[in-house]
Amino acid sequence: MADTHNGTERRKTKRVKADFFVIYRQDKPIEISLWMGDKEFPAKMLNLSENGMAIMTNYSVPALTTILMRFTLINLHTDAFEPVRPMHITGEVKYNNVLSGNWHRLGISFTQIAEEDKCAIANFKKMAMGK
């Protein structure tokens, strides 16, 4: 799937392409609690910044849903941070674009992220961008 988004750019920080698997679950069940419950679903990360990410999943998650995400950031080109860092981040779905084949592209803004995780992501971006 291509990493395309046809909306207006509103991000505060630039994202870089990333290819990790993400596990997420809904934090506070609201309208879709019977469908989501406490069950975890896999997704594929499309891009990443200190403030958010885009993921692709075959589950429809409405905008404004709070989700918990868990993934491992691997950055083998760093001395400043752990090269392999497990992350647990809370975010809010900002948009859900339906793609072909019942896939959904979710734009997620982080609402709770540890400062150390932000630094590790910033370092990952710097290395990915060759700076």
Closest-CA residue to 65 (of 31, 105, 21): 31
**The pair of three-digit structure tokens given for residue 125, joined into one six-digit string:** 């971006």
Tokens of 7: 């909306």
Q: Which fold has domain 16-128?
A: Thrombin, subunit H (2.40.10)
Would you kindly state where each structural domain of the chain is located, as residue ranges? Answer: 16-128
Instruction: Compute the CA torsion angle 78, 84, 47, 101 (nearest 10 deg).
Output: 150
The span from the CA of 44 to the CA of 100, in Å, is 15
pLDDT tens digits in sequence order for the chain, 131 residues long:
444 555 566 777 888 888 777 766 655 332 222 234 467 777 888 889 999 999 888 889 999 998 888 888 877 766 666 788 888 888 899 999 999 998 999 999 999 999 999 999 998 888 777 75
Could you tell me the two tokens for 102? 């019942």
